[in-house]
Amino acid sequence: MNISAIVLCGGQSSRMGYKNKCFFKLGELSFIEIVTDKLSTIFDNILLVAKDPKEYIPLGYKVVTDVFNESSSLTGIHAGLLFSSTKYNFIMACDTPLIKLELLTYLVSIIDTNCEVIVPKVRGYFEPLCAIYSKDCIPIIEDMLKKRSFKISKLFSEVNTKVVEDSVLKKYDPSLHSFFNINTEEDYKKALKIYFNIV
């Protein structure tokens, strides 16, 4: 099935000194390089959603910006879907560089044409930035954004959604490191320890 990967490169990174987390490094590579390297083994099309596209030109991928003025993860999802050339799209954030290829491959393998979203649920919480979305979600998302409704999980009750529980996810990522997002300096230190133990 033809499917694209979309990486959201936004976020204020207030807890990381307002620095762009995409360019923090694990070893020799930045988060965004690690993520796109992994994605490129599965997806032919990779799209980045960023506030300042100029920063990402050296990476060689198409970069788009939010269409709606209010910046949020949902506006990033909307922009990615809008500018994607494929119906189905795996969407993730740049600050989860520990994502496992086995998990990605599994999520792609269970795409169901009767579903608009395939989303993991870990420890009782949705993981909307490690999920697959259909372009059919665009009008619903646009309606939400016009109403200034930014909670991504609200979308899941509006469309046909397939939820993947962590009991299944652990078969492909036993430690669930794929969902470890780096928000603080402490998270970064922990990610470094994990990365050098598993790479």
Structure confidence at residue 35 as a pLDDT band (50, 70, 90): very high
Least confident span in 66-80, 119-133, 156-170, 184-198: 184-198
pLDDT of 14 reads: 59
Question: How confident is residue 46, by pLDDT bands cut at 50, 70 and 90?
Answer: very high
Q: What is the pLDDT of residue 135?
A: 98
Rounded mean pLDDT of the chain? 93
User: Rg of the Cα trace of the chain?
Assistant: 16
Give the model's pLDDT for residue 50: 94
Is residue 10 scored above 80 in pLDDT?
Answer: no
The pTM for the full model equals: 0.94
Per-residue buried b or exposed e for 110-145, using 16+ beta carbons within 10 Å of the residue's own CB: ebeeebbbbbbbbeeebbbbbbbbbbebbeebeebb
